[in-house]
Structure 1
Amino acid sequence: MESIAGDGYAYGYRKLTHMLRQDYGLVINEKKVYRLCKELDILRPQRKIRRKHPRKLARNRTITAPNQLWEVDVKYGYIPGEDRFFFVLSYIDVYDRQIVGYHMGLTCEARHAVETFRAALWRRQILQRNAPLPIIRSDNGPQFVSHLFESECERWNVEHERIPPKTPNMNAHIESYHRLLEDECLSMCEFENYAEAYRAVEAFVRRYNHRRLHSSLHYLSPAEFYRRHLETGLQPKRPVKV
């Protein structure tokens, strides 16, 4: 007990074994030290090992309808007036190019990715219609490799695939959208405060979804193309391959 009260208080039974051998010349094995520590109720608590989720790598796909594959990523912006950054997390439907959900805030954590995903499912009426859920494709950012995000995907039986490191081309649609967000909004503004930045991003998303024309969508906006697809079965000009 004297050894444990000194340097040994932070040791597990294996290190205690070596300490007893070195300091006191005892001939003792790890099993004996473990039994003694257990009897004295001084075993260090075991770390809880979280179950790891298997990583599913993104693979080539041909997308034939909305809500089959959503890409998600995080973009950050800067507020000069307050000298701080903000984050924009966006989900895009690769078929109709619509931003189906986004989060903007001064932080961006796994819970924000989860909450935004749930809201997007309701906005697209996927849960109400009991329709098949989309595949989610992301990079390996901390929000998407987290236990919380993977548990949410398991809860809804959603397939979550992650692109290999240094392959942003496999997340090309959301990368392209965030470049537009940078070029046509963030880099054009010297934000004085967060509220101003929020209004600018909100206006950009609304304009992108409802007014920005896409040549691959017959020069329609994403929202208009989505509406016509539902009503008439309109297809993009070219097959959507990711």
Structure 2
Amino acid sequence: MTAGRKRDAVLRLLRAEPLEIVARELSVTAADLSAWREAFLEAGAASLKARERDDRDEKIDRLQSKLGEVLMDNELLQAKVDRLEAGGGGPFWVAEVEAMSPAVSISTRRPYGLARVCRVWGVARSGVYRRRRPADAPAMPRRRPGPQGPMPDAALVEAIRGVLLASPFHGEGYRKVWARLRHAGLRSSKERVRRLMRENGLSAPVRTGRPTGPRNHDGTIIPESIDTMWGTDMTAAFATEHGQVAVFVAVDHCSAECVGLHAALRGTRHEALEPVRQGVAERFGAVEKDAATGLSIRHDHGSQYMSHDFQKEIAWLGASSSPAFVRAPEGNGCAERFIRTLKENLLWVRTFRTVEELRLALLEFKRTYNEHWLIERHGHRSPAQFRRDQMDTMPLAA
């Protein structure tokens, strides 16, 4: 008989129906019916004794769990004391840890576990795991997670090597390599290119900077349009016949395009004006009064740039002087970054006999840089391409 039918029979008895009549109708004995009734009443009484769980029960459970943790720690500490009293000084052996980890606590009836034994006994888990691994186990090759992609890693590495060899620049990082691969029709994720370059020793060298003080400004030096602000600065190079010579640069802050490059035996104020004059003649048509109206010249506080002659001539050209903060080279960061590129790709990798040879090399580098150097903030376009694109939108904006 099912539990439901038994329940219905008991309910009939509780409604004062005669026992013998119910037994006869259901074809069961009176003893069975009486036993069902007693069991039904006992179960109901037991269920009434139970109460709903509340916050006190949860607190009791937490305290019991915490007590169990403390008891297990004490048992391990007692085992450590017993070992020391027995003359077993010194650190625990890995075998002892392995033997104690699966042992069951007498207080909680739970195994101690490797993490607890190592923590209480002061043993590094890494040493235990190292012992578990066979010494002669072959190293598993690292597998990139996710799908393989349309091009295997080996083929993509060869494509990366080809890009690096074909590039006219040195020290390009994974972002520009990724962009050049996309320009060539090879599509892959930027992080995959980074990983493969790192694993195959193709990453660009990274120079770690030194700590600097608080920033003097939190703004930006990048204008919205070209020929609004130019940055100029000076660096040094070496010619075998003349020794150290001066190199002056001028860079457009918006497009990062080199607008002027010049080399001279002496770094005077008159030589410092030469890259600015080159840019004015090329971008504004001629070097004449008020030809560069609206242009701002960003420079540092070097004697060449703060001189009366330099300031007078840029004012005559119609440009305004915009000196950077003192001891804050990031204010002239566009020119500083271009000089780093110039050093890494020309001045530090080639030897020049005369200043004239250096000057011609600078003009050639200017053309190569403007047409082929990729700028990430311009969508990996070259400075010259960015200028052309912005020039195309100017009539539409007007």
Decide: shared fold, TM above 0.5: yes
Query: More displaced, 219-228 or 131-140?
Result: 131-140
1:104 paired with 2:263, answer yes
Residue deviations 1:14-66 (CA, integer Å, cap 9, x gap)? xxxxxxxxxxxxxxxxxxxxxxxxxxxxxxxxxxxxxxxxxxx9994551101
8 Å contact kept, 1:58–1:161: no
Count residues in correspondence.
176
Could you say which structure has the higher helix fraction?
2
The residue that corresponds to 1:67 in the other structure is 227
1:150 equivalenced with 2:311 (yes/no) = yes
Secondary structure of 1:185's counterpart equals helix
Do residues 90 (structure 1) and 216 (structure 2) align?
no
RMSD: 2.6
- Name which of 349, 361, 366 aligns with 1:188: 349
**Aligned counterpart, 1:117:** 276
Distance 1:146 1:222 in 2: 31
Alignment of 1:174 with 2:335, yes or no, is yes
TM-score, normalised to structure 2's length? 0.41
Counterpart AA for 2:282: R
Matched residue, 1:215: 376
CA distance in 2, matches of 1:196, 1:115: 17
Deviation of 1:220 after TM superposition, in Å, equals 1.6
Q: What percent identity do the matched residue pairs reach? A: 24
Residues 1:191 and 1:157: Cα distance change in structure 2 (over 3 Å): closer
Tell whether the 8 Å contact from 1:71 to 1:93 is kept in structure 2 after alignment.
Answer: yes
- Give yes or no for contact 1:92–1:98 (8 Å, CA) kept in 2: yes
Equivalent residue of 1:188, what SS? coil
> Partner of 1:27 in structure 2?
none
Q: Is the 8 A contact 1:76 1:85 kept in 2?
A: yes
Counterpart in 1 of 2:129?
A: none
Tell me which moved more, 173-182 or 57-66. 57-66
Is 1:165 matched up with 2:313?
A: no
Amino acid at match of 1:149: F
1:76 aligns with 2:241: no
Distance across 1 between alignment mates of 2:363 and 2:317: 28
Greater length-normalized contact order (CA 8 Å, ≥ 6 residues apart): 1
Deviation digits for residues 64-94 of structure 1 (CA, Å, limit 9, x no counterpart)? 1011111110011012x32601211111111
Q: How far does residue 108 in structure 1 lie from its aligned partner after superposition?
A: 2.5
Distance 2:342 2:292 in 1: 30
Which structure has the bigger radius of gyration? 2
SS at match of 1:70: strand
Q: Which has the higher strand share?
A: 1
8 A Cα contact 2:260 2:275, kept in partner: yes
Letter in 2 for 1:82: E
Matches within 5 A, 1:124-135: 124-125=283-284, 132-135=293-296
